[in-house]
Amino acid sequence: MSPIRGVSEITRLTRLGKIHLGVKVESSKGGLIPKAVDYFVCPPEVQAVHGEKPKSLPIMFPLEDVEQFAQQWYRAYSQTRGLICKGDGEKATQLTDLKTGAIAEKDAAKTVMKDVSCPGEDCQLYQTKRCRRVMNLQFLLPEVPGIGVWQLDTSSFFGIVNINSSIQLIRGICGRIRMMPLVLSVGPREVAPEGRKKVVQILSLTAPHSLNELISQAQLPTGQVAIPAPDTERPDLLFPDEHLPSEDRVPDVGRAKEDMEALWEQLGGAEVRTPEHAFPADQRPRMPRKDEDASEPHEDAAASNSGEKPEVTRQKIRNAMRKRWPEDTEGRNTAPFCQQWEATTVDEIPEAHLHEALARIKPKGGQGG
């Protein structure tokens, strides 16, 4: 096989699913609220191997870069727009209402992503619980069938510190963290965050082997792969509905098989594919010139949110891709296109940018739907 530089040497793992640290229960006022549990809430394929309510999971990290497999940000979400702000305590990228200059709310007609200052826990969004610190931890489950990564989200201060500290210690001893056999656990710990003691469930990361065995394991060669960017969907256990503005709430979109089949029929029963390969250089999205104001939206971007369901817009994008590249039966024209929104597939493009993506991918003179 002849290599294509910048393409052939890249391998990328898929995301197999998500694991949670809580469940939704009915509140006394009606509706569902999150409740922490003392075990990992896992999909059926993980339960089949590790039990219905595992308190520990054998894991491996597929690469060395912590910023890829354990991203940590202050994140703010909207039910209608998804991720609207991401910061590190000093700087943030915020979806901004061009008319008001404030963070975009439901009724904002024109929006653009802008760099702003991030006050961290002093931010009004953080104090009203619309923003939280979040770690997106991605890892392999070597004993579970399937090749790909699993994702777990946590906003716990103590859990994030535990994971970071263990990674640093293991790397200091072994010289690497990639593909080392580790155990991710959840267990009780007494804390006093506001001067009052309480017991909470905290993540921890340990090694199941002796120090000598761990060092021997570190001598074995490993490969290098890429993993998908953490998804931008709102972790609803960390960001429950009552912490979002009431005017911003919309009914949950059903994900049952029947709902999806009805949607495909509405869209003409088109076959759904998710190509993830190269995007031709002559068709890459135009970047602003030096004399342009990068804060102004491109003329091809959608001017407003039409109220269309995200799943419908995503399907229109896929249909437009098939019209634009009709002979691309293996799907070699998506990943670089999606990467401008920090995504690898159409499913990972943030809701706030779906209409912009649709405008960019539509063939000239076509409708893409």
- Sheet strands (E) in the chain: 15-26, 32-41, 56-59, 70-78, 82-87, 91-97, 111-117, 131-139, 149-154, 182-191, 198-206
Same domain (yes/no): 195, 273? no
pLDDT tens per residue, range 108-118: 889 999 999 99
What number of residues does the chain have?
369
Claim to verify: residue 334 and residue 280 sit in the same structural domain: yes
Q: Note whether residue 186 is domain-resident.
A: yes
Please give the residue that has the higher pLDDT: either 17 or 297. Answer: 17
Which of 168, 194, 218 finishes a domain? 218
Alpha-carbon distance of 116 to 335, in angstroms, equals 28
145 & 264 share domain = no
Same domain, 261 and 322: yes
152: β partners: 19, 137
**What are all long-range contacts of 205-214, with beta carbons under 8 Å and residues at least 24 apart?**
205/162, 205/163, 205/166, 205/167, 205/170, 206/166, 206/182, 207/170, 207/180, 207/181, 207/182, 207/183, 208/58, 208/181, 208/182, 208/183, 209/181, 211/173, 214/170, 214/173, 214/174, 214/180
In a domain, 314, yes or no: yes
pLDDT 10s digits, 52-108: 999 999 999 988 989 889 999 999 988 888 889 999 999 999 999 998 889 988 888
For 128: left if phi > 0, alpha if psi spans -120 to 50, otherwise beta; the answer is: alpha
Does residue 144 share a domain with residue 44? Answer: yes
Q: Is the pLDDT of residue 303 over 50?
A: no
In a domain, 161, yes or no: yes
| 298, pLDDT greater than 60 | no
First to last CA, the chain: 37
User: What letter does residue 286 receive in the DSSP assignment?
Assistant: P
Asked if 210 and 262 sit in the same domain, the reply is no
Q: How confident is the model at residue 294 (pLDDT cuts 50, 70, 90)?
A: very low
271 lies in the same domain as 355 = yes
CA dihedral 270, 276, 282, 287 (to 10 degrees): 100
Residues 138 and 27 in one domain: yes
**Does residue 88 sit within a domain?**
no
- Chain segment 23-44, per-residue pLDDT in tens: 988 888 878 888 899 999 999 9
Give every CB contact of residue 188 below 8 A, 6+ residues apart in sequence. 38, 199, 200, 201, 202
The 10 Å Cβ neighbour count of residue 82 is 19
Alpha-carbon distance 18 to 234, whole Å?
13
201 and 52, same domain (yes or no): yes
The whole-number pLDDT of residue 258 equals 52
Average pLDDT, the chain: 77
191 lies in some domain: yes
Q: pTM of this prediction?
A: 0.59
The reply to whether 183 and 259 lie within a common domain is no
Indicate whether 119 belongs to any domain.
no
How many domains does the chain divide into? 2
303 domain residue, yes or no: yes
Domain housing 57: 15-74+128-218
Q: Could you tell me if residue 112 is inside a domain?
A: no
End of a domain among 194, 218, 242? Answer: 218
Do 179 and 54 lie in a common domain?
yes
Alpha helices in the chain (DSSP H): 44-50, 66-69, 124-127, 157-174, 211-218, 257-266, 310-324, 335-339, 354-361
92 CB-near residues (< 8 Å, 6+ apart): 74, 85, 86, 115, 116, 117, 118
Same domain, 280 and 355: yes
| Residue from 303, 360, 307, 314 nearest 97 by CA | 303
Residues contacting residue 185 through CB under 8 Å, at least 6 positions apart? 55, 56, 57, 203, 204, 205, 206
